[in-house]
Chain A
Amino acid sequence: MISKDDIKNTAELSKLGITEEEAEDFMKDFSKILDYVDQLKTVDTDGVEPTYHVSSKIQPLREDIVKESMSREDVIQNAPEEQYGYFKLLRVMD
C-alpha cells in the first residue's frame, strides 16, 4: 500500500509541486496501477537478461571531427531570461 507521504516524496523527487487534493487523487489512481503492475512479480525471470535496448547490433561510432556548431545567438534565443549572452538564473551558490 502506498501512503500519501510516499506520493509527496515522489512529487518532490520529480520536482513537481502538488496540492493536498492532487496528492489524494494521484494516490487513488496510482494504487490501482500498482495493483495491476504487481502481476509482473508473479513471472519467473531467473536467468533472463534485461533488455535496455532492442538493437542487437553494435551502435556505429563516428569520427570525432571538429565542426561548427550552433551560434550563441541561436542557443540563447529561446531562453526565458538571458543576460550578456548567458542564461540568467538565480544565484546558485552563496
Chain B
Amino acid sequence: MDIIKLSAIDMKEKLKNKEISSRDIVEAHIKRIDEVDEEVNAFITLTKEEALNTADEIDKKIKVGENLGLLAGIPIGIKDNIITYGTKTTCGSKMLENFIPPYESTVVERIKKEDGIILGKTNMDEFAMGSLMETSYFGSTKNPIDLERSPGGSSGGSAAAVKAEEVALSLGSDTGGSIRQPASYCGVVGIKPTYGLISRYGLVSVANSLDQIGISGRNVSDAALMLDAIAGHDIKDSTSMDMENINYLEGLNEDIKGMKIALPKEYFNIDMDNGIKDKVMEAVKVFETLGAEVEEVSLPNTNYALATYYVIATAEISSNLSRFDGVRYGYRAEGYETLDELYMKTRSEAFGKEVKSRIMAGTYFLSSEHAEEYYEKALRLRTLIKDDFDKAFEKYDIILSPTTPNLPFKLGEINNPFIMETSDIFTIPVNLAGICAMSIPCGYIEGLPVGMQIIGDRFKELDILRAGYAFEKHLSIGGER
C-alpha cells in the first residue's frame, strides 16, 4: 500500500482499523517531502519533529481506545499567512522572516483539537499578492504536474503540496481567487467558503473585507471533512457568523436531479485559452445527464469587477500593512536618525516590489483628493456586483464557469503583472459578493489541468459540494481515486 496516495478519509479509516499507524502515515509523507520538495518548494517551514510527536500521541490514544478527532492522523499543510503558535509565520516576506507567533489561530487550534497533524507551513506569494508564486521571498513553488510551470498563487504552496502528495489536505487563503486559481493550475479541489463561515482570527489580514480561509484537497469528500473541522462561529472573530452547524460530509449526495444551474453569459464571452470553454461545456453536459436543469443567466456588471476589486483590495492593503513599521515585531532597518526614517527604511527594505506598488496604489485611492472618485465609487459598484448574484440565486442553486481563462503559465513567462490579474476575472466577483465557490478539475488539455468553478450563494457550501461530488463521482479525473 502506498500511503501517500490514499485519500485523507482513507488514511483516517485505515488508522482507525489499525491497518496503519499514525507514525506510518507521517513517516511516509516526510519521506515524500524529502524526495520532492527541494524541487517543488511547496514549504517554507517544516515541522517534522512536532508531527512525529503528535503521531505518537495519536497512536497511544488508539492503543488505549480513546475517541479520535475528525482529522485523526491526517497530514496537513498550513499556508504561511495563518498564524501557528511557536512556529515561524512569514507571509512569504522578508518583513516576517523570523516572526514566531505568540498565539494560535483559531483554524489551527481546531485542527489540533481534531487530531490533525501539521507537517509544515506552505509557500505563498508575498503577503498573498500575486497569482504565479513569483513574489515569495523564499523562491517560487513549482507546479508538480510540470515543474517549469507555475502552480498558481497566492496559495500555490498549499495546492502544490497536496498535488505532490506531500500532505493530504492544506489550508490557504483566498482574497480574489488565491485558492481556486492554484487548485485549477494544480488539478486539485479548492474551496473558498462564504465570507464569515470560517474564523479569520490568526489570518494575517491583507484585504479583510475579501479575505477568507479555505481548503485544498485531492477530492471533494476530503475537502468537506476539513470544512466540518474548521467551520463555525468564533468569539475572537466578530465577522464569523453564529449559525447552526452543518455536517458537510454527511450532506454529500450523488443525486442532483432538479438542481438549477446557471451559466453566466458574460463569463463565457471573455477571451480564453483554446479548449477551456469546451472542457467546461462538456462538464455542463455531465450535469444535464445527472438531471440538473441548465440555463443562461446575465451578470451585467461582471466587466467592472476587476477594476472594483483593484481599488477596494489595494485600499484595504494599504491600511492593513501599515502595521509593519519595524517597532513591535518583524524586520527593522539599521542606520536611521529619525522615527520617520526608521519606518521608511524598514518598509522599503523588507517589502517586495509587488507589495510596495499595491500599498501605494491603495494609498492613492484612499487619499483625501481621490477617495470619493475611486474608493467610494468602487464600493458602490461592489453593491451592483453583489446584487447581480443575489438576483441570480433567487432562481438558481449554483453558477458554473471556468476557474481561470488560462492554462498554467510557465514561470517567468509573464512580465506585465496587470495582465496577470485578468486571470482572476472569474474568481474575483465571488469575493466581492462574499459568496462561496469551489474549483474542481474537469479535464486536461495537453497534459495541463482545467478547473471548473462552482459558485454558490452565501452559506450554501452544501450546494457546491454536492454538485462537485456528483460530478467527480461521474467523471473521476484527477480527483477521487
Interface residues of A (CB under 8 A from B): 6-7, 10-11, 13-18, 26, 29-30, 32-33, 36-37, 39-41, 43, 45, 48-55, 57, 59-62, 70, 74-75, 77-81, 87, 89-90, 92
Across the two chains, which residue of chain A brings its CB closest to B380?
A45
CB–CB B360/A36 < 8 A: no
Residue B383 CB within 8 A of the other chain: yes
| Minimum C-beta distance from B424 to chain A (A) | 14
Q: Which residue of A lies closest to B307 (CB)?
A: A37
Which residue from chain A places its CB closest to the CB of B359 in the assembled complex?
A: A14
Please state if A16 and B332 are interface contacts (CB–CB under 8 Å): no
* A32, B328: Cβ atoms closer than 8 Å: no
Q: Which of B103, B326, B360 is the one whose CB lies under 8 Å from A26?
A: B360
Q: Which of B280-323 contact A (CB under 8 A)?
A: 301, 304, 306-308, 310-311, 318, 322
- Are A52 and B357 in contact (CB-based, < 8 A)? no
Given contacts A36-B418, A60-B238, 8 further A-B contacts (CB under 8 A): A10-B367, A14-B363, A17-B348, A18-B348, A26-B357, A50-B380, A53-B209, A77-B100
Given the known A-B contacts A10-B367, A18-B348, are A29 and B357 also in contact in the complex, defined by CB atoms under 8 Å?
Answer: yes
Q: Which residues of B contact A52 (CB under 8 A)?
A: 209, 379
Chain B 361-416 interface residues, beta-carbon cutoff 8 Å to A = 361, 363-364, 367, 373-374, 376-384, 386
**Cα distance A18–B456 in the bound complex, in angstroms:** 43
Determine whether B478 belongs to the interface, using a CB cutoff of 8 Å to chain A.
Answer: no
The answer to whether A80 and B99 touch across the interface, beta carbons within 8 angstroms, is: no
Q: What are 11 A-B contacts defined by CB distance under 8 Å?
A: A14-B318, A15-B340, A15-B344, A16-B347, A16-B356, A36-B306, A40-B304, A48-B383, A48-B384, A50-B376, A80-B330
CB contact between B380 and one of A48, A78, A79 (< 8 Å): that residue: A48
The bracket for how many chain B residues form the interface is: 35 or more
Chain A's closest residue to B241 (CB) is A57
Q: Which of A29, A70, A87 makes the CB contact (< 8 A) with B418?
A: A29
> Which residues of A sit under 8 angstroms from B380, Cβ to Cβ?
45, 48-51
Q: A16-B359, A26-B360, A75-B102 are in contact. Are A40 and B367 (CB under 8 A)?
A: no
Q: Which residue numbers of B lie inside 8 Å of A, CB to CB?
A: 98-100, 102-103, 195-196, 209, 233, 235, 238-239, 241-242, 301, 304, 306-308, 310-311, 318, 322, 325-332, 336, 338-340, 342-345, 347-348, 351, 356-357, 359-361, 363-364, 367, 373-374, 376-384, 386, 417-418, 433-434, 458
Are B343 and A37 in contact, with the CB atoms below 8 A?
Answer: no
Are A40 and B383 neighbours in the complex by a CB distance under 8 Å? no
Q: A40-B374, A52-B209, A57-B241 are in contact. Are A77 and B348 (CB under 8 A)?
A: no
> Which residue in chain B gives the minimum CB-CB distance to A13?
B363
Cα of A70 to Cα of B101 in the assembled complex, Å: 11
